[in-house]
Structure 1
Amino acid sequence: MDFTLTDAQRDLAGLTAEIAGKLVTAERQRELDSAPDRFDDRLWSALAAAGVLGAALPEPAGGGFGLLEQMSVLRELGRHVAAVPYQTSIVGAADTLAEFGDTTQRELARRAGAGETILGVALAEAENWDPAQPTTTAVADGPSWLLTGTKITVPFAALTSHLLVTAGTAAGPALFLVETGAPGVTVTRELVVDESAQSQVDFAAAAAQPVGPLDRGTEAIGRLLARLSVGIAATQLGTLERGLELVSEYARERIQFDRPIGSFQAVAQRLADAYIDVQGLRLTMWQAAWRLAAGLPAEAEVHTAKFWAADAGHRVSHTIVHVHGGVGIDTDHIVQRYFTAAKHNEFALGGATDHLRGLGTILADVPA
């Protein structure tokens, strides 16, 4: 594989970092804490105006760049713990509609890339650990479809115009597009640890449109889950990189017994372990992203990247808080934002154990 970043990756990452660096301030973060939905509309509008949102969508929905460029944007958003739905609206819904949707659905993807609407992805279900096998159902009703079921922790659902929903049909799992404000759709905000905008969405015979042919449903869901999993790993990479920078700065500045605490062996070892963890996540994330972008088999690499996002995320996030000592548990301190964001990324779309099981299944099927 080639680890060299493309010009578009560097440019989009730099532009995203510049915009987020100006707008995502401590004061703005505190302001968002009291909002009904933790959504940074100023940052989202600025990213749209700069062309960041649509740049990495396939033509004609966007600028024609792809997954690697999307991961570069997500990494920068993770570094700023930015409260915007780039992962779900662009990487998830818009990219999938551009690939599998009909003309109308592709136009919706273009509008999302232009910042004219926000799309969402509804995957998780209570007591169902396999998003590829949904318990939500869709049944044909003449030329249309009716969707019934419940999805939990749907990001930014209250702000979306449409949701991309996984559902089971007589022909197998498939993707459906549902208007969030349509009859039979109920959105209830949920309270989660990192205070991000999450909702439960109930579907009661809600009108839905299939996305792509039903016989390609498993393919579409697999592609969506793979890209979202690597997207979480990219976001986690940015979050842990910045968190490690913060704790390293603190370890150099905090004096105890007339010495910086970073000079103590136990602290230095934990920081060194955290550095290795971040490097492992960086390697596995880019490996999975590159293989997906190149159209190569990447199931094992995706599981590996998400495992590192979860396992390394757990260790590094706790190191960030522990080395900060008493101030690390202060919910007003900046490291708490990185801690809770890392914990969210750890469990989104499955924790470490879930992806180890997936990886083990793949390895067990390999002939000796």
Structure 2
Amino acid sequence: MDFTLTEAQQDLASLTRRILTDKVTPEVLGPHGSGGFDAPLWTALAQAGVVDAALPQRVGGGGFGLLEQCSVLAEIGRAVAPVPYLTSVVMAATAVAEFEARSPAENPSARSGDGRLAERWVVPVLRGEHVLAVALPDYGVPCGFTAEADGDGWRLRGAQTAVASGAFAHGFLVEAAIDGGRQVFLLDRDSVTVSPQRTVDHADAALVELSGARSSVSLGDIGEWLRLRGTIGVCAQQLGVVERALELTAAYAREREQFGHLIGSFQAVRQRLADAYVDVEAVRLTLWQAAWRLSEGLPAAEEVATAKFWAAEAGHRVAHTAVHVHGGVGIDVDHTLHRYFVAAKRLEFTLGGATAQARGLGDLLAADPA
């Protein structure tokens, strides 16, 4: 299997890195735990063509796909950039675009209220004007919302905490239990009760509550489709985070002296860095294997669980190695490294941590003993 990046992936990654290197500064990021969304940066990425490049041409995109989206996410992770590319583009906008492309025979449970979902929801995202959030339970966690038919629409009730990008989202995709199954519904912010929350690294999440909120749009039973894509996106972003954290730590070990010697010359430090390198490469390999299978329409549930297991485990180990090697400055919340530590910890548990992924992988393997 050839994991060489395509020309489109390389070009998008290079463009994204140039923009983020220029615009993601300590002043933009603000103090620890604040912010979480840089609107001017989001608009700049859109104007440069980064946001729309990986979406279908029929909605004004560049016609690429998941592999290109992962390349962008890895760069966002490297910069720890406060932009909602994962939720808005990889998950929500792509789901809406895919829904409108399907015929009723392919997706009989889906109904559109106005028949122009892309114009209303996707195009503003492509322009960098709107943000979409996805309220999706973690792997193996019961659904927090229920829905019932109401004329030509649905009424939704329930709540979910820590919805990524929810604090500033203009619209929400919500998975809800209905008639013994699950469907994903599209809701405007005006019909949702949003209570901003601060997570370990940013003030960008939200408690989303629905009390009879009405939706006229169901995207059908696509919760698992969203979860697989979202999980791969988390892995891609985690790859960028741990890769850059290791680079910063290795550079520090080459210049920091203790007892008259560079700490990088100490055997224990070198072993920790070597283990971290193996972890980063494990994330890279499992990510691209799973992303390729998904992009080709092949069964990929086992590969996605494997990739997320490594993203969680490696994220934990590399983040702690970076802090330990840096010593006292590693626990300074104002130090650059701290942004990578908290980003790695947040991504470790997003959509299910290592234990949840290992259990899920075990269930998948047990269901197919061959």
- Report the Cα distance in structure 2 between the residues aligned to 1:292 and 1:364, rounded to whole angstroms: 22
- Report the Cα distance in structure 1 between the residues aligned to 2:179 and 2:298, rounded to whole angstroms: 30
Partner-residue secondary structure (3-state), 1:151? strand
1:84 matched residue in structure 2: 83
2:148 matched residue in structure 1: 139
Of 240, 252, 255, the match for 1:253: 255
1:49 matched residue in structure 2: 47
Please list the CA deviations of residues 176-221 of structure 1 after superposition, one character each: whole Å capped at 9, or x if unmatched: 0001112xx2110112211240110100000113333x4xx0xx11
- Return the letter of the residue paired with 1:286: W
Judging changes above 3 Å, is the alpha-carbon distance between structure 1 residues 311 and 34 closer, same or farther for their aligned structure 2 residues? closer
| Contact 1:23-1:42 within 8 A present in 2 as well | no
| Contact 1:60-1:110 within 8 A present in 2 as well | no
1:205 corresponds to 2:212: yes
1:299 corresponds to 2:298: no
| Contact 1:100-1:211 within 8 A present in 2 as well | no
Of 179, 191, 196, the match for 1:189: 196
Partner-residue secondary structure (3-state), 2:298? coil
- Report the Cα distance in structure 1 between the residues aligned to 2:256 and 2:89, rounded to whole angstroms: 41
Of 101, 104, 107, the match for 2:116: 104
1:175 matched residue in structure 2: 184
1:350 matched residue in structure 2: 352
1:278 matched residue in structure 2: 280
- Return the letter of the residue paired with 1:117: H
1:119 matched residue in structure 2: 132
Partner-residue secondary structure (3-state), 1:55? coil
- Report the Cα distance in structure 2 between the residues aligned to 1:146 and 1:6, rounded to whole angstroms: 44
Aligned-residue offset at 1:157:
1.5
RMSD: 1.5
| Contact 2:77-2:241 within 8 A present in 1 as well | yes
How many positions carry a matched residue from both structures? Answer: 355
Aligned-residue offset at 1:366:
2.4
Of 133, 155, 160, the match for 2:169: 160
| Contact 1:97-1:211 within 8 A present in 2 as well | no
Share of identical aligned residues, percent?
A: 53
- Report the Cα distance in structure 2 between the residues aligned to 1:367 and 1:129, rounded to whole angstroms: 22
Aligned-residue offset at 1:34:
7.7
Judging changes above 3 Å, is the alpha-carbon distance between structure 1 residues 29 and 104 closer, same or farther for their aligned structure 2 residues? same
Aligned-residue offset at 1:30:
2.2
Partner-residue secondary structure (3-state), 1:273? helix
- Report the Cα distance in structure 2 between the residues aligned to 1:110 and 1:195, rounded to whole angstroms: 27
- Report the Cα distance in structure 2 between the residues aligned to 1:333 and 1:242, rounded to whole angstroms: 14
| Contact 2:33-2:198 within 8 A present in 1 as well | no
Aligned-residue offset at 1:99:
0.6
Partner-residue secondary structure (3-state), 2:51? helix
Structure with more contact order per residue of length (Cα contacts < 8 Å, sep ≥ 6): 2
| Contact 1:240-1:278 within 8 A present in 2 as well | yes
1:5 corresponds to 2:14: no
Partner-residue secondary structure (3-state), 1:178? strand
| Contact 2:132-2:170 within 8 A present in 1 as well | yes
Which deviates more, 75-84 or 104-113? 104-113
- Return the letter of the residue paired with 1:89: S
- Report the Cα distance in structure 2 between the residues aligned to 1:169 and 1:115, rounded to whole angstroms: 33
- Return the letter of the residue paired with 1:112: V
- Return the letter of the residue paired with 2:295: A
Judging changes above 3 Å, is the alpha-carbon distance between structure 1 residues 6 and 196 closer, same or farther for their aligned structure 2 residues? farther
| Contact 1:251-1:260 within 8 A present in 2 as well | yes
1:341 matched residue in structure 2: 343
- Report the Cα distance in structure 2 between the residues aligned to 1:335 and 1:191, rounded to whole angstroms: 20
| Contact 1:237-1:281 within 8 A present in 2 as well | yes
Aligned-residue offset at 1:112:
1.4
- Report the Cα distance in structure 2 between the residues aligned to 1:26 and 1:161, rounded to whole angstroms: 27
Aligned-residue offset at 1:151:
1.3
1:240 matched residue in structure 2: 242
| Contact 2:152-2:216 within 8 A present in 1 as well | no
Partner-residue secondary structure (3-state), 2:52? helix
- Return the letter of the residue paired with 1:176: F
Aligned-residue offset at 1:106:
2.3
- Report the Cα distance in structure 2 between the residues aligned to 1:7 and 1:315, rounded to whole angstroms: 32
2:56 matched residue in structure 1: 58
Please list the CA deviations of residues 303-345 of structure 1 after superposition, one character each: whole Å capped at 9, or x if unmatched: 0000001001100000000000011111111111000000000
Aligned-residue offset at 1:38:
2.2
Which deviates more, 100-109 or 42-51? 100-109
